[in-house]
Structure 1
């Protein structure tokens, strides 16, 4: 198991971002396989450690979390065939889950980050979370407005409505949080941090800090079936 990320993995992702062609990828397929194996080993070790504070990490493996590197270009103007990063999502149900979870994004050129929250949920989930925020604003503020949380993640990110959501008043004290369509907390990770000997500790500490936020977002969704 790997508790660090190899420099060759970041170098591969860096070069892929500059040479995003099928020909280059085919020539460098062994490097891709080695980089992916390195990332999966890190994820397996990470999951083992996460079980101490997050039950959904139980019985999952790195392969359950990691997204394919091949891009679906059928409906995109961007025809680059490959993603220039590795992404992994820890949530109930694995990488395809629509529930709140923990995301690790590994990329070259200081573009790595870890994140948590709820990304583009279906309408029923959106409605339930907004209702929870309206009822429990102080609880949410007690999580995302603490100095420790802000030092790691800054302000919440995510797509927002330009207008007031249906059923709410623009004077609602929670309006800045109710306008979100995704609620995401993002912590940037430099290459120096990613390649450091304590990277596992950094990731685990970040994910531990995200757990109360994820738990807050998940609570109102427990009674809802998927749309």
Structure 2
């Protein structure tokens, strides 16, 4: 694969991730690091570069597609400090494209996920920061933004998509549990996702087109979140 050219994720990308799941230790990873770089890291960067050229005209011009680790590429090393699972490595490819010059995980964006038996793309905000959660709740019951959220919910359902993010069991204090949008008050994030098994398309350059098409369907959620955040 030449620099900047995305031709798909090879079979060995998925094979490497499957092998890593069976040998999730630092010694095995170090021994197989060249394979990781060739089969996982390089095509991931090429995929990000390909999308960076397409986003302005086909999705959003303000999206950040940066092929560096801890930018659009999530690092493969797991943070195990507060986890019972002490395996050191992630066994999937995770890519994130966020809006504007804000902190990457505190602003809306589009997500790509690939592992041996799971492939999905998503949009939204997985977890609202504590500074944003009160703003989101006010937007849910706001006359215009709340109505737009209800319309968005109905529109996405027609496309076979479901808004996700429910976390709380009880309506937060100070809000009406009978409100038409009450279910959204139980959310601590707001996302859409479309999932499938990895198919032949994963191995092809056409994966870029496929992901863009799905993200275009999800764009109304992204736009709603941006409108919500304008009130911050």
Name the TM-score, length of structure 2 as normaliser. Answer: 0.86
Deviations 1:94-133 (A, max 9, x none): 7733011111112112x12111111221233111122222
- Indicate if the aligned counterparts of 1:156 and 1:183 stay in contact, CA closer than 8 A: yes
Q: Give the deviation of 1:144 after TM superposition.
A: 2.9
Show the counterpart of 2:87. Answer: 80
- Indicate if the aligned counterparts of 1:16 and 1:25 stay in contact, CA closer than 8 A: yes
1:93–1:31 distance in 2 versus 1, CA, 3 Å = farther
Write the distance in 1 (CA, Å) between the matches of 2:47 and 2:126.
Answer: 24
- Indicate if the aligned counterparts of 2:63 and 2:109 stay in contact, CA closer than 8 A: no
Deviates more, 1:215-224 or 1:166-175: 215-224
Matched, 1:145 2:154: yes
- Indicate if the aligned counterparts of 1:101 and 1:118 stay in contact, CA closer than 8 A: yes
Show the counterpart of 2:185. Answer: 178
1:148–1:159 distance in 2 versus 1, CA, 3 Å = closer
1:149–1:66 distance in 2 versus 1, CA, 3 Å = farther
Q: Give the deviation of 1:189 after TM superposition.
A: 3.3
Aligned 1:32-43 pairs, distance under 5 A: 32-34=36-38, 35-43=40-48
User: SS of the counterpart of 1:186?
Assistant: strand
Show the counterpart of 1:55. Answer: 61
Q: Give the deviation of 1:142 after TM superposition.
A: 2.3
Write the distance in 1 (CA, Å) between the matches of 2:156 and 2:219.
Answer: 16
Matched, 1:156 2:160: no
Q: Which has the higher strand share?
A: 2
